Every structure is written in C-alpha cells, then in structure tokens.
Structure 1
Amino acid sequence: MAAPAALQRSVVSPAGRHTASLIFLHGSGDTGQGARAWIKQILNQDMAFQHIKVIYPTAPARPYTPMKGAFSNVWFDRYKICNDCPEHIESIDSMCRGLTDLINDEVKNGIAKSRILIGGFSMGGGMAMHLAFRFHQDLAGVFALSSFLNKNSAVYQALKRNESALPELFQCHGTADELVLYSWGKETNKMLKSLGVSTSLHTFPDLNHELNRTEIEKLKSWIVKKLPV
C-alpha cells in the first residue's frame, strides 16, 4: 500500500527562534488556510508568536456520511452528528496516523514533543483529543473549541487503561451553540476529568458554533503558559 500523502499545511513562522510548535485543526468542511484566515479576520492579524510555529493542516477530502456521502475536508467520518452513536473508529485511527507524521516532522526539526500543542475547532478539537489522549500523551497539551467526544468514546476506553501522565485539556464552548450542543462539550469535560485529565472549561454566553476574539485571546494566553520562551 502506498504511503499516505503528506497533509497540506499553512504555516505561520515564529518571529524569532523556533523552539515550540502549535498544530491547529480546522472544523469539518474547512481547510487549514481557511482556519488561519478566519482567525486572522477576528484578530486583524495572524495568531503569531515569538518562538512558536503555528501549523494549520488541511484534512483530505473524503466521503462524509452526514452530507449523504458527498466529499468534504473532514478529519474523519461520522455516522451522524450526535454524541450517543458509535464513533467511526476506522477513519479516526487512519487520520491519527497521518497526523502522527506531522508531529514526527516537528520532532525531526528538533522540537521535543513536550513543546508541541495540538487542538482545533469543532471536529478538529475532537480529532485532537483522540490524537493526544490515545496516542501522544507526552504532548504539551490539547485544546478543543466547540468540540465533543461521543459517549463511550475510544478516548475514554483508552484512559481507563492508562497509568501515565496526561496532557492538560483547555476547552471552550459557546452556550448558544446549536450544532455542537454545550451539554455535549460539558459532558466531555466531566468524563475526561473523571478519568484523570487536568481540564478547564471556558464558556461564552450567546456564542454559537463559532470563534470570537475573547476566546482566541484566552487561548493565546494558555498557549504561552504551556509553551514559554
């Protein structure tokens, strides 16, 4: 079988010496360039740091069941968008392998895994939680913005068997979110905390399934705390 093609990525280089990396995974149907442009529009500038490279990879296009099999840039397939159905674990694990290649690229560039953060918006945050908590527990941390894990997630099953230290989770959710319900995000946070993950959950009244400046600024502060100069 041919090796999977390397993920396309949009990169914001650090202003100074590169000593840490941040991987931001877009939501379903978006691209890395689209996520970068969205954040840039909100902040009126790129989310950039003195020492941290910011990487926005693009998910490969695949048939997406909630869109009746139409092709979309999604990290994995879903049987439907809800939290009480089984996960499409085959597509999740396949993408974990592709994203592991991206992490390994940073390690080859001299960045320790303890100096790499991964996270994302919506499906991107869900993907990041699978990647970090199941396969890369030595990362600096993981963030999930407007994201959730399914009930009986493979993440929960893995953590029940885990005995090692876990990356910290930074989670944000709009209480008015009508696509990924706030109750799903809150339940995810509660489950992960019960399984030994150090978590924080920041809520934003009147915020729907979107990002805003306050949320991104709060995220940036957490990033700098986890990846100091």
Structure 2
Amino acid sequence: MCGNNMSVPPLAEAVTVSGLEKETAAVIFLHGLGDTGEGWAETLMSIRLPYIKYICPHAPLIPVTINMKTTMPAWFDLMGLSPDSPEDEAGIKRAAENIKAIIDHETKNGIPANRVVLGGFSQGGALSLYTALTCQQQLAGVVALSCWLPLHKTFPQAASGSANRETPILQCHGELDPMIPIVFGAQTAEKLKTIVSQQKVTFRTFPGLPHSSSPQEMSAVKAFIEKQLPRI
C-alpha cells in the first residue's frame, strides 16, 4: 500500500474525466491554492488521451496563514513562499496520505500505481512532489508545475522508503512567475537531482509565462504523459 488506510475522499470531492475507451491508466492532478479541480479538469480535457482517466480532487477548505487566515481551498497551510518560511509539516503529511489513499483506491479498482501519473500546479504541484517522494508504490511519473518541494530540508532522508527514486519527473516553470520565482524552481530541480536519479529530472522553463500555464507547457505535459503512460 502507498500509505495507511485513511478514508478515501468521496468522488464528490473530485472532478473525474472518464476515458473514451477502456481506462488503463490515470492522471491525478492537484490544483493550486484557492482553486478547485474544475479548471484543471477543463485544461486536461484539451490534452486528453482516450484510455486515461483524469482525476482532479478538490482541496479542503482551511484557514490559510499567508492570506490573513482566510478560509479557502488549500492542501495544507502556507506561512510564506520563501524556501526558509516555516512549514505546516503535519498538514503536508496528512495531505500526502490523502493523495496516497486516492492512488490506493485506483489500484483497488484495476489501475495499478505504475500506470498513474501524479501531478499538480503550484501548491498542488508541491504536494504531488512530496507525495511521490514518500510513496511506497512506484508511480509512472510526476508532473510538477510552478512549484517547490515541501519540507525540502527533510530530504533525501524522507525519501528512504520511496519506490520513486527512479520515477521520471517533469518540472515546468514560467520565467516571469512573480509568486514562486523561477530561482526557487531551479533550486527545487537541483534538490530533486539529489533525491532521484539526475537523468530522471527534466526542468523546463517558459519565457514570458507568469504564475500560470500555457498551451506550450500543456503540450510538454501531454508528451510526458504519453511517454510515461503509453497505450497498452
């Protein structure tokens, strides 16, 4: 199992885009702070592959310190956006267990973990990295957009039991990101290369792109998904 037997979030808490034919693979994609799964489900529709199921969970509503404790969709609390900001360690670990429960749920329903790509944007991308690097089931790949590695100081030790030390990671970042500056993305890529095999980490930057996605980036994501989840 990937994690412990925490309750699987009911499907009402995720937007699921079903495959157009027999589903032999899944992409689980986590949205950013203050967002929901809806927008990313639409974006993924534009690059969908017919044999893949796309699952876009909604984060729970919690008070977020960085936004004056306003309650909003968030995977875990955020105290700041610099690499030295204090972090919500308990919240990050709890969120990762919830995502592992979704992976386990798919495994039980016939899509093995090695046919699952886990990804996300911003805070969701951060959680996808942390989840994959602490997961005991091998995934097909990880897509990390405009994000960072949570609890980075606990790695590589925190990944000692992970089955994903050889799992390909596609990390993308906009060169004009004002929220999570590209330098943090580059530092994250360097850190990832100390945790997983260097040749498994691809860091792509996109000129002119702020803290968002673009058709060029999504076409890179689609190519990565097609490579890691080929039709069987």
The answer to whether TM tops 0.5 is yes
> Which structure 1 residue ranges, 5 or more long, are not aligned?
none
Secondary structure of the 2:179 match is coil
Q: Is the 8 A contact 2:167 2:196 kept in 1?
A: no
Higher mean alpha-carbon deviation, 190-199 vs 210-219, is at 190-199
Residues 179-194 of structure 1: pairs in structure 2 closer than 5 A: 179-194=179-194
Cα drift, residue 4 of structure 1 = 7.3
- Please give the alpha-carbon distance, in whole angstroms, between the structure 1 residues aligned to 2:119 and 2:75: 13
Q: Counterpart of 2:93?
A: 93
| Structure 2: gaps of 5 or more residues | 1-5
The Cα shift of 1:104 comes to 1.3
Q: CA deviation at 1:34?
A: 2.5
In 2, the alpha carbon distance for the partners of 1:194 and 1:147 equals 17
Residues 155/62 of structure 1: CA separation in 2 closer, same or farther (3 Å cut): farther
Partner of 1:24: 29
| Deviations 1:159-199 (CA, angstroms, capped at 9, x unpaired) | 3x458543211010011111001000100001111233420
Does the 8 A contact of 1:123 with 1:147 survive in 2? yes
**Could you report, residue by residue, the CA deviation over 1:46-91 in whole angstroms, capped at 9, with x for unpaired residues?**
4321211011110010111101111110111122121112321100
Match of 1:6 among 4, 10, 13: 10
**Alpha-carbon distance in 1 for matches of 2:68, 2:162:** 40
Q: Which residue of 2 aligns with 1:80?
A: 80
SS in 1 for 2:193: helix
Q: Once the 2 structures are TM-superposed, how far is the Cα of residue 150 of structure 1 from its aligned partner? A: 4.8
Give me the whole-angstrom Cα distance separating, in 1, the residues matched to 2:22 and 2:7: 32
Query: Would you say the 8 A contact 1:133–1:167 is kept in 2?
Result: no
- What is the root-mean-square deviation in Å for CA atoms of aligned residues? 2.0
Map residues 41-190 of structure 1 onto 2, 5 A cutoff: 46-150=46-150, 152-159=152-159, 161=160, 165-190=165-190
Which residue in 1 is equivalent to 2:204? 202
Aligned to 2:3: none
**Per-residue deviation at 1:115?**
0.3
TM-score of the aligned structures, taking structure 1 as reference length: 0.90
Counterpart selection for 2:39 from 10, 34, 44: 34
Q: TM-score, normalised by structure 2?
A: 0.89
The count of corresponding residues between Structure 1 and Structure 2 is 222
Using a 3 Å threshold, how does the CA distance of structure 1 residues 109 and 49 change in structure 2: closer, same or farther? same
Q: Deviations over 1:174-227 (max 9, x none)?
A: 111110010001000011112334200111011110100010011001101000
Equivalent residue letter for 2:127: M
